[in-house]
Amino acid sequence: MKIGVMGHGPIVEKCLDAISKVSGSQAIAIYNRPRSAKEGEAIAKKYHVEKTYTDFDQFLNDAEIDTVYIALPNSLHYEYALKVLNAGKNAIVEKPFTSTVEETDHLIQVAKEKKKFLFEAITTCHLPNVKALKEYIQEIGELSLVQTNYSQYSSRYDIFKNGETPNIFNPQFSGGAIMDINIYNIHFIVSLFGEPESVSYFPKKAENGIDTAGIAVLQYPNLACSAVGAKDSESSGFAYVQGRNGTLKINSPVNESRELIVTIGKDSKTINLQQSDNHLVYEFESFTKVVNEQDYDTCYKWLGHTRSVVQVVEKARKFAGIVFPADLK
């Protein structure tokens, strides 16, 4: 893949580092708006990216780019992914994929019509330790509960409390805790069990209606799963899958899943199949393999999972009365 990257900041730097470690992928260009040109140039220099753009049309018309990674504010994912697909390029869209299921469905339709690859950049589903956990599900017997927690104090929360509204705490940009951080937990749960029978969400809301923390409950037949996410407080991250015969524990937030502890009866063992210190490497390895092998079936399978997650999050927001502009279109 010859990748053009949109955006700047920590996630873009981590992405560029990951791409540099994946055979068959190369970042060849970075696009930023003119006001962020200096940031884009500095990142390009740091990661040895040859070209920088501040004109989006020029960036999109670069014939050398076959895939575009979109790391823009949440509310812009749909608009720019659509432009990328219509320009005849593959799109990798940073999580959360879109604001609504309707937007997701349209992007999938266009990707299929244009025979282009479309991916959500979500680490959880591609991590070897999560794949290992799935293999042990049957061994822990009849399931009882699933608990997940990813809580990380946002550096922008103080600014928000002082009266400013950064994108991540702004409904206009499809921000909030469930979209930014708890979505990893929801991806984890849905990857294990598919779409739930019912979804509820109990958030802590700010005055502007955005959720700064919250608990989502995904109800399956005879199984309740909780997804806890907060951007206004800190906690150790984890995932527990409890069964009659034992437990499976991810000993970190699921977006990294740094190790898996398998406990069956009195026996316990720790598994770590992840060698890279950059957990984004695994998703870019997956994307590169699928594109190089022209494996549309796997791409569409992943998109089906993404759609399920978008639907769960949309149901959770509606349950809690969290409304985005995209809901009103």
- Provide the residue ranges of all domains of the chain, joining segments of one domain with +: 2-123, 125-281+309-328
| 146, 188 contact by CB (below 8 A) | no
Q: Cβ–Cβ contacts within 10 Å for residue 239, how many?
A: 28
pTM of the predicted structure, to 2 decimals: 0.96
Residue 290 phi/psi, 5-degree rounding, is -65, -45
What is the structure's pLDDT at 173? 97
Q: Which residues contact 327 (CB under 8 A, 6 or more apart)?
A: 99, 100
Paired residues of 249 in beta bridges: 240, 261
Q: Which of 64, 34, 38 is nearest to 50 (CA)?
A: 64
- pLDDT at residue 65, as a whole number: 98
Kindly state the greatest CA–CA separation across the chain. 61
* Angle of helix 128-136 versus helix 183-193 axis, rounded to 10: 40
Query: Looking at this protein, which amino acid is placed at residue 24?
Result: G
CA triple 203-251-288, angle to 5 deg: 90
Q: Quote the pLDDT of residue 329.
A: 83
CB-CB contact of 261 with 140 (8 Å): no
By residue count, the chain amounts to: 329
Q: Superfamily assignment of 125-281+309-328 in CATH? A: Dihydrodipicolinate Reductase; domain 2 (3.30.360.10)
CB contact set of 237 (below 8 Å; sequence gap of 6+)? 149, 150, 151, 152, 252, 253, 254, 256
Which of 126, 125, 127 has the alpha carbon at shortest distance from 260? 127
Residue-level pLDDT at 8:
83
CATH H-level superfamily of 2-123: NAD(P)-binding Rossmann-like Domain (3.40.50.720)
- Report pLDDT for 242: 97
pLDDT for 181 equals 97
The one-digit pLDDT tens for each residue of the chain (329 residues) are 999 999 888 899 999 999 999 999 999 999 999 888 898 899 999 999 999 999 999 999 999 999 999 999 999 999 999 999 999 999 999 999 999 999 999 999 999 999 999 999 999 999 999 999 999 999 999 999 999 999 999 999 999 999 999 999 999 999 999 999 999 999 999 999 999 999 999 999 999 999 999 999 999 999 999 999 999 999 999 999 999 999 999 999 999 999 999 999 999 999 999 999 999 999 999 999 999 999 999 999 999 999 999 999 999 999 999 999 999 98
Q: Is 84 helix (H, G, I), strand (E, B) or coil?
A: helix
Torsion angle, alpha carbons of 79, 13, 40, 26, to 10: -80
The β-bridge partners of 218 are 199, 225
Strands 238-243 and 246-250: antiparallel
CA atoms within 13 A on the CB side of 251: 10
Exposure on the CB side of residue 101, measured as CA atoms within 13 A = 14
C-alpha to C-alpha distance for 153 and 284, rounded to whole angstroms: 27
Measuring CA to CA, how many Å separate 70 from each of 97, 181, 264? 10, 18, 42
Q: How far apart are CA 29 and CA 50, in angstroms?
A: 6
Query: What pLDDT score was predicted for residue 322?
Result: 98
Query: Which two three-digit tokens encode residue 142?
Result: 């009849």
| pLDDT at site 219 | 98
